[in-house]
Amino acid sequence: MTQDSNRIVVITGAGIGIGRATADAFGRLGDHVVVTDILEDEGRKTVDAIRASGGSAEFRYYDVRSTEETESLVADIEGRHGRIDVVVANAGIAHKAPISELTDEKWDFTFDIDLKGIFRLARAAVPGMKKRRSGNVVALSSVMGVAYGWDEHVHYSAAKAGVVGLVRGLAVELAKHGIRVNGIAPGYIRTAQLLNEQHSLGEGGSVKAAEFIPMRRLGAPDDIADVITFVASEGARYMTGQVLAVDGGLLVGRY
């Protein structure tokens, strides 16, 4: 265990992909992980895996689109555990839609999850963190939000770019209260979302993408999870307001 162990860590979208890998990583550090997702079976499997490895975890069904559920979740965790030390706002979606088919409803749905969902949870968790003058918020953006546009995903790119502004604004506002806020911008990571041919690259596109990534491979969820745990650790104590691209050299390798 490290000096950061035994924290209360809340992770959204922790049933699969990057969220699950992040939950596992915090569990190995000795933290108590509150696994949240709308995928109940997957979320409970994440908890079971952490416990089977000797870690501490619990599952809470949680839809990041609901302000009421957000406030209830935070109140319950703080009531039972006394605090929330780390929030990892990971839940997100990516649905392909050309501009001609991008309705108000599709736009709002993406923003409600990928951007406003992060804001809701941070807003609810910050008061308790302020009282303790301690806390970490880590928000998931994307290279498609910090550097690239994405064909037929303008709503996704816009929302993920919004995460960058949210991170910077919250970091400045909350630094004086002992709260750090940072973001992670993953590149091409081998997840179910990336391998979905309808809404993302699919298997074939992923193979092609790996060819022009300087490290010559797709990222794995663990590659992101380990950076998240570092950003939330004492080792990153003087870092706030940053959005780190974790992409195998993708951004610096494309000209």
Query: Annotated catalytic sites, by residue?
Result: 156
* Sheet containing 32-37, strands listed edge to edge, beginning at the edge strand earlier in sequence: 56-61, 32-37, 8-11, 86-89, 135-140, 179-186, 243-246
CA distance 38 to 193: 15
Contact 228, 135 (CB under 8 A): no
In 3D space, the residue among 193, 167, 237 whose CA is nearest the CA of residue 18 turns out to be 193
Contact 223, 188 (CB under 8 A): no
Torsion of CA 167, 168, 172, 175, to 10 degrees: 40
DSSP state of 134: -
CA distance 100 to 210: 30
Number of Cα atoms under 13 Å in the Cβ half of residue 67: 3
Helices (H), 103-219: 104-114, 116-132, 143-146, 154-174, 202-212
Residue with the two structure tokens 């037929």: 152
Contact 247, 188 (CB under 8 A): yes
